[in-house]
Structure formats: structure tokens, C-alpha cells
Chain A
Amino acid sequence: MTGVGTNRVAIIVDGRAVAADVEPRTLLADFLRDTCGAVAVHIGCGEGTCGACTVALDGIAVRSCLMLAVQADGGTIVTAAGLAALDGPPDAQNLTPLQLAFRAHHALQCGFCTPGILVATALFLRANPHPTRAEIVDHLSGHLCRCTGNVPIIAAIEAAAGATAP
């Protein structure tokens, strides 16, 4: 490891400040899981295709497996565990409207893909509160779910969008 050294990374994860020295090669996904304990960040591929590791970095959805931790230095991260920061207020079980819509529509089975989809969808609905079905399908192009057949996920997002209608 001679010559590569470490870099200081200070970020805020779901409202909690974390700082640590990491090797430059440390991936953001690994940093979030191993150093920050953010286990809502799921690694389904490590190659940027599945979307399970998606987190919000300064309000933008990113694949945490395709970023170096050092790149996120100074940033604010939201994972599915802190979804309320991106979505409506949570209920008594700490579930936001989007999470409740997923539950009501059986839009998760094993739930491994779910955190990434929730984060990306919360940001998507912020930018586009009343999407068409085609826009939802396009939005989901970056997320793989092996269990549900995706139809219930589309339905849940439609319902969540409808629920926030003005």
C-alpha cells in the first residue's frame, strides 16, 4: 500500500456524521455498509446494473457501488433507513407513504432490491410528482427485481404518486 495513503472522508449518513480515514480504493457502498453501518445499502451486483445500492447523495440518486468513498467527502447521504428525509412523514412504524404503498401492493418479496428502489423513487417523485406509467417504467429501467415481476412495483409507485396529488 506504499504511496497510496489514506484519505479523510467525512459525510453525513441519515442524519449521522461519520468521519474516517480510508484507502482511496474504498468504494462508497463498502464505506457506507462497513464504516457507517448503513446496512440498508444492499449490494446486488457491484457493477452498477441492479440499483440495490442506490442512495441519495446531496439530493441526487447515485449508485454507491460506482463511486469511491473519497468522492463523497463532505456530502450528505440518505439511505432507505432515512427515507422520511426524502418522502412524506413516517407513521408509527416509521414507514413513509411510499413504503406503505409498497407494502399495500406487495411490491417486495425478498426485499433485497427494495431499499435502492425506494430511494430512487422518492427522488423521482419529487422531481415528477405525477408521472405517467411510461415514465415510471423508464425510471425503473435502472432497477432489477428478481422476485416481484415488477408489476406490483409499478402499481405501488402509481398509488404513491396518486396519494400526493394536489
Chain B
Amino acid sequence: MKPAPFAYERPSDVAGVLALLGDGGPQKAILAGGQSLVLALARRARTPELVIDINRIAGLDAITVDGEGCLVIGATARLEEVRVHPAVRSGWPLIAEALGLVANPVVRRRGTLVGNLSNNGPGCEMAAVALVLDAEFVVERLGSDPSRVPSAIFLTLGGTVGFVTAVRFPPPSPGGFAFVELSRRPQHVCTLGAAVQLGPAGPVIALAGFATAIRCTAAEHASTPEALRAALAADLAGAGSADTLDEYRHDVAAVLVGDALAVARSRAA
């Protein structure tokens, strides 16, 4: 549990990161909160030649609402800072609720939202939230303008697309919301999590827990418990396997989504 040797750089601006990152690849690792990366290094699951520490880049930790009313969360903004941020709590409460279930308070104070989503590990709650809220990722690469990558694409590519400087959430749709999850033990890694946001067009639903988070569009149109069960079966038909608990996930998805919808509707009322 000691990392293999690597070199370490601590650039002071984004340009410095891009220069060091070059074409990226497994030989380069970006160190933000480090709550996943350092463990991967210690277990030698990752053995990069260069670790690029972005923690001292000024301004990268900003949490702001931009001119278009979007919530923009910088690459080094800590999970806990996002969770308690007044703008997040009032405008995007689903984010705050889900963050309360991510890891634990100490890890949340260090880990970053962008890092959490870039890793998109098993049971990543925020991936489901990103799908529901239609988040996009601001990605910079050497020699090109920043691009915006939608969640649906980003979550399958992960941190390989370039240097993610921020995640952006569109303006809020006022309505009930809920994030509920199941785990092997309370406060443990999420086995299955349901994110629900009610909007003018009805509920938006996504599930975390399978190989990656899944937007459940069929379920969004189901009106009875039986219909929900059938719709989720369709939504999850192609879900990638996470571990030995897949059968359980399929079994309880309808119950969990039903619970989340009930909570969301009680809040909308």
C-alpha cells in the first residue's frame, strides 16, 4: 500500500496543467481532492509517471451562478462546500441532498465534485444527479477552446477527455426532488440510488449503482406501480453489471424509485 514512484508538479494556472497534460493518457494523473486517486496510487491500481496537483490554482474552487443562471462548480470545489453552499441549497437542492450521502463528512471536505464525477466509481450518486439535472462538463485541451461535454457522454468517457475545469448545471426547474439510496449497511457505499427531480414535463429519474448511472426515461412516464415496474425493466434492460448485487438492483429498483417519487411529490405539494 505504498505508491510506485512518480514525479509531481503543481502548476499555478490552467495553462500550466494543459502543458503538462499534453495528450493525457494513463501516464498522467490529475490530483484534485485525491480521495480516489491517492488510494489508487497506494494500491498501485494506477501507476502514472506524473501527478499534476491542481489544488493551488487560484479560482478553480469557485462555486458560482453564471449570467445564464447556471450553477458552475470549479474543479477543486470540495463536495462539502458544494453541499452547504446557499445557492446550491436553494436552487439545486437535489445536489445537496445527494451529497449528504456521498462518502463521509471528512472525505467530502477534501474530495471534489468534478473528481467524483470524473471517477464515476461504482454507486456514484452524483452521476445520477448529473443525468437528472442535465449537467455538462467544461473540458479544456491544449490548443483548443474549452468544450462542453454533456453528462451522458462524459460519464462514459470519464477523465480521459482532457482537463475538466468545471461542471455546469442548467438553471433549476422548481419542483419536488429526492435522492434515496440503498446500501449493504447504512452510510456505506451506494448499492442503488434513485435521483428524482419533478419538472414541468413530469419527473426526471436516474439510477446510480449499475456499471454507470442510467437515465430512466420509460419510468418517467409510468403512472401506476405496475407500469413503473415494467418501465424500469425496460430502462434497465441493458444496464452494465457492477458486481454480484445486480439481481438485487433490478429487483428493488421499482420500490426505490417509487419511494423517491413519493418523497419528491410530498415536497412539491
Contacts and interface: CB of A to CB of B under 8 A. Distances in A.
**When A and B assemble into the complex, do they touch directly, with CB atoms less than 8 Å apart?**
yes
Interface of A: 1, 3-5, 7, 23-25, 27, 30, 46-48, 51, 54, 60-63, 65-68, 70-71, 120, 124, 138-139, 141-143
Contacts of B105: 61, 120, 124, 138-139, 141-142
Interface residues of B, number: 30
Given A61-B105, A63-B35, A142-B103, 10 more contacts: A4-B6, A4-B7, A27-B38, A47-B43, A61-B106, A65-B38, A68-B8, A68-B31, A138-B187, A142-B106
Contacts of A7: 8
Contacts of B10: 70
A143 B105 CA distance: 10
A63 B41 contact: no
Given A27-B38, A48-B35, A62 B5 contact: no
Contacts of A54: 106
B39 interface: yes
A63 B110 contact: yes
Contacts of A1: 5
A142 B2 contact: no
Contact of B106 (A46, A47, A62): A62
B6 A66 contact: no
Contacts of A61: 105-106, 109
B42 interface: yes
B9 to A, nearest CB: 9
B12 interface: no
Given A27-B38, A66-B110, A142 B104 contact: yes
Nearest to B189: A49
Contacts of B246: none
B55 interface: yes
A62 B106 CA distance: 6
Given A46-B42, A66-B38, A68-B38, A25 B2 contact: yes
B39 A70 contact: no
Contacts of A70: 8, 10, 53
Contacts of B42: 27, 46-47, 65
B84 to A, nearest CB: 10
A67 B38 contact: yes
A112 B100 CA distance: 27
B39 A47 contact: yes
B1 interface: yes
B257 interface: no
The 7 closest A-B pairs by CB, nearest first: A142-B104, A24-B8, A25-B3, A141-B187, A141-B104, A142-B106, A46-B1
Contacts of A4: 5-8
Contacts of A139: 105
Contacts of A60: 109-110
A105 B61 CA distance: 40
Given A47-B39, A66-B35, A66-B39, A24 B7 contact: yes
B51 A48 contact: no
A77 to B, nearest CB: 14
Interface string B11-45: 00000000000000000000100110011011100
Contacts of A71: 31, 34, 53, 55
A25 B41 contact: yes
A60 B81 CA distance: 12
A63 to B, nearest CB: 6
A24 to B, nearest CB: 3
Contacts of B34: 66-68, 71
A7 B53 CA distance: 13
A92 B35 CA distance: 38
Interface in B160-191: 187
Determine which residue in B4, B35, B49, B107 has the highest number of CB atoms from chain A within 10 A of its CB, and name it. Answer: B107
Interface in B51-66: 51, 53, 55
A23 B5 contact: yes
Contacts of A138: 100, 105, 187
Nearest to A3: B7
